Structure 1
């Protein structure tokens, strides 16, 4: 995989790339306290037919750590700046967890630049008051204790216990991505996540198929929150939203990118094939 740096939206953004440059481009966005490394097991499985761009969000990995709140909109502007710098006019974006929040903000701000998107262990719902209180506690904790104890508490929540035992090297790589994050970057990202609005309407109103992937054992984002299109004031089944593709991975927690990369790659590949087919009939 090739690593590059571009200056966009006032920051130096690092990204990795694999696949074929003359093929259709997809963008894979990592989660909180992660990096482009999160996608390393998925990228080779898709690289034969796609050009794959894996950015490192502001405050994460080797990308700049500016001293301001990292709203989802600002990070979406970063992704747009990257796409423009690379000459990408239209793309499909898949976001894991935090990356899903950024994906929705990108879809909201730059609808003409998307032909589809997917949320991987993420949600269109805003933080509940309980979650906001937890984020405030995390901000205080990181500010006082630093990033290392926070990451050590976070890792067990990301993986199913049996998976942590089966793949210790992969779990360690995820941990190292978190440990390499600056406390300032983590705090500003937590602040930004608390500010995001409810974007559930973007799921059922999308003019193209939407991919939703959840882990049955996810302790970070529950499947019901991923499939939030069914949580409106007037609940509707996915049969009334045939463009929404819901997938629940059994035996997987929050990290299907690492826990079940082959399964995730198959689901993404199947979804991408639907984008080239006739748009399904929508019942509104």
Structure 2
């Protein structure tokens, strides 16, 4: 679908309360397949590829989180969806926080999974910009191989070979230009703790118990910041609990949706 002068690929399945699933970096909408297949029985589930990722248009340069959020608002407008349950993981969670900050009236409820609410440090900004330059030089393969056992737990790389292959395939298949633009934009993100303290809709914070990138302590900090929020820690999972422990992750989301 044409939105903001780019083409956005997306899945739109089921009927009922709409749920918008926002993928992480450097992935695509296929990371949500286990959730789409379960939630679509009771909900309308929309899972897009963000600009620069999957089958959506690649725009080189820098993509701030606000641009991703505006793309999602444009997609919701085209689909005739006013308010949605907004669910984002990792970078997708930061995009969800940005969308909530800039368009709070469009969010019926919020699910933030394995994500980080603060702005980058100077060292963090340098790292993201260095990674952007690196994948433009080398392609995505070396980076993907290097971080696989941080994206999912080392134990799950061994125990869940099909999941490991899927995660590796998404990373290797991402456009280096799209990934670099995403990294550069994230490096400049604001701190979201203040806007999270003003969340006035139901909210669920989810985290994999073994997540190295956004540990349980980070999720607890977000949970404490968001009034009335719920926290779910998924055992036996790293940074991608929706793929490593899909039943447990989706159970937590379904229990939350049942309270709306």
TM-score where L is the length of structure 1: 0.87
1:150 counterpart (139, 143, 150): 143
Query: Whole-Å Cα distance in 2 between the matches of residues 58 and 226 of structure 1?
Result: 27
Conserved in 1, the CA contact under 8 Å of 2:199 and 2:227?
Answer: no
Structure 1 stretches of 4+ moved >4 Å: none
Structure 1 unmatched ranges of 5 or more: 1-5, 231-237, 276-284
Structure 2 unmatched ranges of 5 or more: none
More helix by share: 2
Query: Whole-Å Cα distance in 1 between the matches of residues 219 and 122 of structure 2?
Result: 18
When residues 99 and 81 of structure 1 are mapped into structure 2, their CA distance, relative to the original with a 3 A threshold, is same
Tell which structure's C-alpha radius of gyration is larger: 1
Could you say what the CA RMSD is over the residues aligned between the two structures, in angstroms? 1.5
Return the offset for 1:137: 2.3
1:30-81 per-residue CA deviation (whole Å, 9 max, x = no partner) reads 1001011101112222111101000100100010011331110000000001
- Secondary structure in structure 1 of the residue aligned to 2:251: helix
Any residues of structure 2 matched to 1:219-234 within 5 Å, and which?
219-229=212-222
Return the offset for 1:242: 5.4
1:160-199 per-residue CA deviation (whole Å, 9 max, x = no partner) reads 1221112111211121111111111111000011011001
Return the offset for 1:241: 5.9
Conserved in 2, the CA contact under 8 Å of 1:123 and 1:227?
Answer: no
When residues 15 and 37 of structure 1 are mapped into structure 2, their CA distance, relative to the original with a 3 A threshold, is same
The residue number in structure 1 matching 2:14 is 19
- Alignment of 1:260 with 2:245, yes or no, is yes
The residue number in structure 2 matching 1:94 is 87
- Secondary structure in structure 1 of the residue aligned to 2:9: strand
When residues 7 and 225 of structure 1 are mapped into structure 2, their CA distance, relative to the original with a 3 A threshold, is same
Return the offset for 1:273: 2.0
Return the offset for 1:274: 2.1
Query: Whole-Å Cα distance in 2 between the matches of residues 228 and 131 of structure 1?
Result: 19
1:107 counterpart (91, 100, 106): 100
How many residues of Structure 1 are paired with residues of Structure 2 in the alignment?
Answer: 260
TM-score where L is the length of structure 2: 0.95
The residue number in structure 2 matching 1:64 is 57
